[in-house]
């Protein structure tokens, strides 16, 4: 669907900032939002009235199609502040490309690049006082779009709202996680929307994840939808396996999200001459590697958690404990990633984007 947009970004500033009311040492992830937010509406075949305004509630009809047919996609990205007070985004172009890829899959009009970056950088600049310096601190940024046309007919919406919210964040997971391999439920199917960041993908994960937690696990490693033979993602993250000194991860597909952190880990590994295999990963080979001791590490990779090491993996009635090696890949990749994001080290990949 082609779309156009009015060029002017309207800015309405809050009279009083709430930043001094925030306890930055005790944040609950994604529940405290900054002073401002961005919104833009798609009506009459074009994106119009792009506006940054004070954060606040929306008024929306209960007949809006997002509530009935799930036309909603989102992104997750972060801004960081270095020790000199400079503010950086991490690979924002990849997030922009992916939200439009997700939107296209759900028959949502794509959003123009120029207004996305103008809105994103303006919002981050306006609310930069909410970004705390120091490793582990960031501003989590949530662009999303939802169908707003009123009507319960089963058809794509003619109207949408694109928004960007921002929330100060600390570390998402504070410790290693215990995971179980799925042998019944699946995250996504061939030809489905697994490769899109569709809101419904995540809602559908909650029930099987609750079942796993009742058994003492934190998350699920999802398997393929037909035979449950192949390992695909871990919870809401891409997943990596270290067998001996080789790093293995599944290729992206209709079922697997093309994660920005995933791509970054692969590039960092190759840059450090670590053997990387991007290929289908059999459940049986990882279970066997856990049994014979060649499985050294499993970790998830995603924007919110960055790198989340796995301490144990469950399969059927068995649980295999993992002892983090001294030369931990997960610790190394997390350090390398965060050092680039926080402008502590050189960025040989050109991933940093300064918000001036």
List the CATH number of the domain containing 92.
Answer: 3.30.470.10
Indicate if 196 and 332 belong to the same structural domain. yes
Whether 305 shows a pLDDT value over 90: the answer reads no
> Average pLDDT of the chain?
95
- 70: containing domain: 10-169
Residue 289: pLDDT band by 50, 70, 90 thresholds?
very high
Token readout for 341 is 């994001």
pLDDT of residue 172: 66
pLDDT of residue 176: 79
pLDDT digits (tens, 9 = 90+) for 176-219: 799 999 999 999 999 999 999 999 999 999 999 999 999 999 99
Query: What CA–CA distance (Å, rounded) separates 129 from 126?
Result: 8
pLDDT of residue 29: 93
Indicate if 217 and 264 belong to the same structural domain. yes
- For residue 327, CA distances in Å to 152, 289, 339 come to 56, 18, 18
Query: What CA–CA distance (Å, rounded) separates 94 from 336?
Result: 19
Last residue of a domain, one of 119, 139, 169: 169
Whether 107 shows a pLDDT value over 90: the answer reads yes
Percentage of the chain surpassing pLDDT 90?
95
pTM of the predicted model as reported, rounded to 2 decimal places: 0.95
pLDDT digits (tens, 9 = 90+) for 56-89: 999 999 999 999 999 999 999 999 999 999 999 9
Indicate if 147 and 106 belong to the same structural domain. yes
Q: Which of 167, 177, 155, 152 is nearest to 67 (CA)?
A: 152
CATH number at residue 188: 3.20.10.10
Confirm whether 145 is domain-assigned. Answer: yes
Indicate if 259 and 188 belong to the same structural domain. yes
Contact present, 144 and 163 (Cβ < 8 Å): yes
Confirm whether 272 is domain-assigned. Answer: yes
Last residue of a domain, one of 169, 204, 220: 169
Indicate if 162 and 47 belong to the same structural domain. yes
Last residue of a domain, one of 169, 188, 223: 169
Confirm whether 64 is domain-assigned. Answer: yes
Whether 250 shows a pLDDT value over 80: the answer reads yes
Indicate if 161 and 196 belong to the same structural domain. no
Which residues does residue 114 pair with via DSSP β-bridges, in sequence order?
none
Whether 6 shows a pLDDT value over 50: the answer reads no
The total number of structural domains in the chain stands at 2
* Maximal C-alpha separation, the chain: 63
Whether 252 shows a pLDDT value over 60: the answer reads yes
pLDDT of residue 1: 38
Angle of the 260-271 helix axis to the 92-105 helix axis, nearest 10: 140
Other C-beta atoms lying within 10 Å of the C-beta of residue 287: 18
Confirm whether 50 is domain-assigned. Answer: yes
Confirm whether 350 is domain-assigned. Answer: no
pLDDT of residue 189: 92
Indicate if 155 and 266 belong to the same structural domain. no
pLDDT digits (tens, 9 = 90+) for 219-246: 999 999 999 999 999 999 999 999 999 9
Indicate if 41 and 121 belong to the same structural domain. yes
pLDDT of residue 174: 64
Confirm whether 354 is domain-assigned. Answer: no
Indicate if 187 and 244 belong to the same structural domain. yes
Indicate if 199 and 158 belong to the same structural domain. no
Indicate if 195 and 332 belong to the same structural domain. yes
Confirm whether 348 is domain-assigned. Answer: no
Indicate if 257 and 185 belong to the same structural domain. yes
pLDDT of residue 63: 98
Q: Which of 119, 159, 129, 146 is nearest to 37 (CA)?
A: 119
Query: What CA–CA distance (Å, rounded) separates 251 from 232?
Result: 8
Confirm whether 203 is domain-assigned. Answer: yes
């Amino acid at each position: 669907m082609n779309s156009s947009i009015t060029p002017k970004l309207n800015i309405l500033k809050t009279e009083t900032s709430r930043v001094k009311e925030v306890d930055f040492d005790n944040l609950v992830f994604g529940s405290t939002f900054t002073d401002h937010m961005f919104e833009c509406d798609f009506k009459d075949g074009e994106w119009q009235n792009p506006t940054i305004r004070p954060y606040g509630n929306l008024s929306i009809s209960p007949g809006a199609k997002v509530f009935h047919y799930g036309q909603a996609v989102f992104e997750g990205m972060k801004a960081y502040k270095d020790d000199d007070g400079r503010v950086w985004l991490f690979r924002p172009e990849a997030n922009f490309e992916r939200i439009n890829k997700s939107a296209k899959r759900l028959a949502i009009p794509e959003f123009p690049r120029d207004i996305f970056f103008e809105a994103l950088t303006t919002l981050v600049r306006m609310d930069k006082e909410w970004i705390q310096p120091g490793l582990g601190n960031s501003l989590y940024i949530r662009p999303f779009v939802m169908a707003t046309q009123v009507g319960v007919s089963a058809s794509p919406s003619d109207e949408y709202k694109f928004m960007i919210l921002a929330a100060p964040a600390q570390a998402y997971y504070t410790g290693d996680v215990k995971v179980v391999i799925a042998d019944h439920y699946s995250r996504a199917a061939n030809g489905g929307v697994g490769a899109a960041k569709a809101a419904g993908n995540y809602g559908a994960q909650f029930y099987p994840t609750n079942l796993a937690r009742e058994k003492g696990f934190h998350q699920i490693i999802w398997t393929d939808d037909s035979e449950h033979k192949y390992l695909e993602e871990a919870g809401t993250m891409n997943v990596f396996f270290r067998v001996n000194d080789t790093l293995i991860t599944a290729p992206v597909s209709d079922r697997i999200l093309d994660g920005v952190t995933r791509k970054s880990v692969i590039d960092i590994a190759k840059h450090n001459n670590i053997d990387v295999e991007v290929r289908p990963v059999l459940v049986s080979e990882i279970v066997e590697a856990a049994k014979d001791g060649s499985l050294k590490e499993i970790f998830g990779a995603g924007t919110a958690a960055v790198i989340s090491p796995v301490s144990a993996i469950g399969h059927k009635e068995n649980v295999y404990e993992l002892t983090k090696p001294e030369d931990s890949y997960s610790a190394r990749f997390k350090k390398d990633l965060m050092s680039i994001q926080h402008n502590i080290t050189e960025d040989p990949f050109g991933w940093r984007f300064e918000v001036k």
